[in-house]
Amino acid sequence: MAKKELKNRDNWQTASGPGGLAGTAEKNLYKVFEKAFKDTVYKISYHPKDLKHLYEDVALPADVLEQIFCPDEKAMKNAKRRGWGVSPDFSITNTLTGKILFGEIKRQDGWVEGKKPSAGRGNAHERMCKLFTPGLIKAYRQIGGITDPDILPFWVVLEGDITRDPKRNREIAFWFDKYDKNFFMWRPNMSDDDLIEHFNNYLKPHLD
């Protein structure tokens, strides 16, 4: 299905390569799945709001409250207006089951031919480590409905030179350990079809 629909796809590498806009990768991923999901029960959302107010009502112990700044009710309400939570880059929902897979896409430079090892010093990939925290994993499972312990309730897509960086590939593989299907290195030689195939094979079944 996806391969046929994406036959005349836009060139992702051209749009998101060196010199491209920071948000290009997210927008193209969104378009790829939007096209693939046409006339199906699956839906992709850009920056979903499901987790926007995730931790703003977390109750803190009295001894903690005594030691931190506690604004008045009006100030607190205004501060929370934008939401104290997280904003994933995208989410994929099975509209029949209601299950949701939350996703992040990280674009980063890396150490490849013609560059020095320092080219891979970016920290975009490190910001995804918050996804592994007990609180977020619990919330993602509760809200998204993906409870199978053999898979994580989120998916990270990486692109740019980081996908070929010898250090970063080992680092990220180490972080994910047995959950290697929860990240995808969208390398320059890969097509949109490769991305869709990974989703269909390893993540889609957990939304059914």
Element (H, E) at 153: none
**pLDDT mean across residues, the chain:** 89
Contact status, residue 103 vs residue 70, Cβ threshold 8 Å? no
Rounded-to-integer distance, Cα 46 and Cα 102, Å: 10
Domains and CATH numbers, the chain: 2-9+21-51+86-207 (3.40.580.10)
Rounded mean pLDDT of 107-134?
93
Contact status, residue 30 vs residue 44, Cβ threshold 8 Å? yes
Question: What pLDDT does 169 receive?
Answer: 97
Question: What pLDDT does 20 receive?
Answer: 39
pTM recorded for the entire structure: 0.85
